[in-house]
A = this chain, B = another copy of it.
Amino acid sequence: MDATVTGFEVHDIRFPTSEQLDGSDAMNPDPDYSAAYLVLQTSDGSEGHGFCFTIGRGNEVVAAAIEALRPYVVGRPVPRTAADLAAVHLAVTHDSQLRWLGPEKGVMHMAAGAVINAAWDLAARRAGMPVWRFLASMTPEELVSLVDFRYLSDALTPDEALAVLRAAAPGRALRTERLIEDGYPAYTSTPGWLGYDDAKLVRLAEHAVADGFTQIKLKVGVDMEEDVRRMRLARKAVGPDVRIAVDANQRWDVGAAVRWMAALAPYDPYWIEEPTSPDDVLGHAAVRAGQPVRVATGEHVANRVVFKQLLQARAVDFVQIDAARVAGVNENLAILLLAAKFQVPVCPHAGGVGLCELVQHLAMFDYVAVSGSREDRVIEYVDHLHEHFTDPAVVVAGRYRAPSAPGFSARMRPESIAAHSYPDGPVWQTSKGSGTR
């Protein structure tokens, strides 16, 4: 008999990060980094882990949404193949009644992503491969079968997707070797949180360069003069050859974004990230047309339909996928294929809780089997909370090492889960975080 999924444990896990102002930006002054966390268990003793990243309050709502997906997974055969993983994806995203709550956006869609990613963790573990390699072991036809092409066909057909994947297929083995040899470029956002003072900004920027990073990122968007001042300090600290990206976290309207970037332009920002609402395709196109700096967005883009339009409208220079906001590996594969078709580089969003761990697999798979390139591509890296994972992301000399452990690097240490469970874990008996509101 085939093994079945028998367990579906949901945890509300929160870290009181607001106490150090790690993660503070123009829209998010005091986040408590959190995860609505799922453990799937099987009748033969294996596990799959997945999660949504949130910044505190409302994590329990995402946990409730994951819970609502229990009946679509428990009691079913353990997913092993591309066909199985396509079925899991459709089961949790195509239920008509749950779809009403989006469709394909917000809490319910994030929850679907956690379930799908847990299924991938499970399947890759059982295959004995890290997810990037498990994906790269699939044929172009299998990969295409994983994608929901609904609403995409005006921009990308299954045949076009197949052509992208077939073109990359001959180079897979060589690129896999290269990846294992020298990893994938990272950039660091550690220096640039708004809550850090000048001394800490300069010190961390200098450390980043010393550590081998060739790109750092600063948060901007609250006060233009202050941002110009901080940008000048950072530029002085890192010199002219290190890229400095800036990130407004959706703070601006179109006009403000254009004005602000004109003021920062003399210090050569590499990209402006999230200049405005993640829903505003036409707004991003206007920002891109209105000032000289490259435009990046994606961490809050709800689904493949919005990414499709950002590409169709030539609104972005970089596509910033997030591993845990859209419907998991399957929808991110759709987005990687769209980006490859439109020849726009993918530079994943990471940080948070476990996002570096997850998204490195997608970027590496993209290099090996989709875009075939690491040119102009970097994965974000933030150096916190990795110690809570059993297979933490490893960044050496400014580059992610290719994960070798089976699975999605998604597994949080049991003692971390116990300690940070909200509201009853021991950490929350002494920490207050940013409070209940």
Contact = CB atoms under 8 A, between A and B. Distances in A.
A107 B61 contact: yes
Contacts of A210: none
Interface string A412-436: 0000000000000000000000101
A221 to B, nearest CB: 12
B97 A101 contact: no
Interface in A175-212: none
A302 B57 contact: no
Report the interface size class on chain A.
35 or more
Interface in A70-122: 71-72, 95-110
A106 to B, nearest CB: 2
Contacts of A27: 96, 99
A311 to B, nearest CB: 10
A153 to B, nearest CB: 4
Contact of A281 (B57, B277, B309): B309
A345 to B, nearest CB: 22
Nearest to A286: B154
B153 A108 contact: no
Contact of A101 (B54, B72, B278, B306): B54
B97 A106 contact: no
Contacts of A170: none
The oligomer's copy count stands at 2
Interface stretch (A223-231, A250-258, A359-367, A380-388): A250-258
A342 to B, nearest CB: 13
A355 interface: no
Given A107-B107, A279-B302, A97 B55 contact: yes
Interface in A284-331: 286, 300, 302-303, 305-306, 308-309, 312-313
A388 B54 CA distance: 38
A68 B57 contact: yes
A99 B26 CA distance: 13
30 contacts: A30-B96, A54-B97, A57-B97, A58-B65, A58-B97, A58-B100, A58-B108, A60-B68, A61-B65, A61-B107, A72-B437, A101-B106, A101-B107, A103-B250, A104-B277, A105-B106, A105-B302, A106-B109, A150-B253, A151-B276, A151-B279, A152-B253, A153-B255, A154-B255, A154-B283, A277-B305, A279-B303, A279-B305, A279-B309, A283-B309
In order of increasing CB-CB distance, the 10 nearest A-B pairs are A106-B106, A107-B107, A57-B97, A71-B437, A154-B254, A64-B64, A56-B97, A151-B277, A153-B253, A279-B305
Interface of A: 27-32, 54-58, 60-62, 64-65, 68, 71-72, 95-110, 150-154, 250, 253-255, 276-283, 286, 300, 302-303, 305-306, 308-309, 312-313, 434, 436-437
Given A103-B250, A281-B281, 10 more contacts: A30-B96, A60-B68, A61-B64, A61-B68, A71-B437, A72-B437, A103-B300, A104-B279, A154-B254, A283-B309
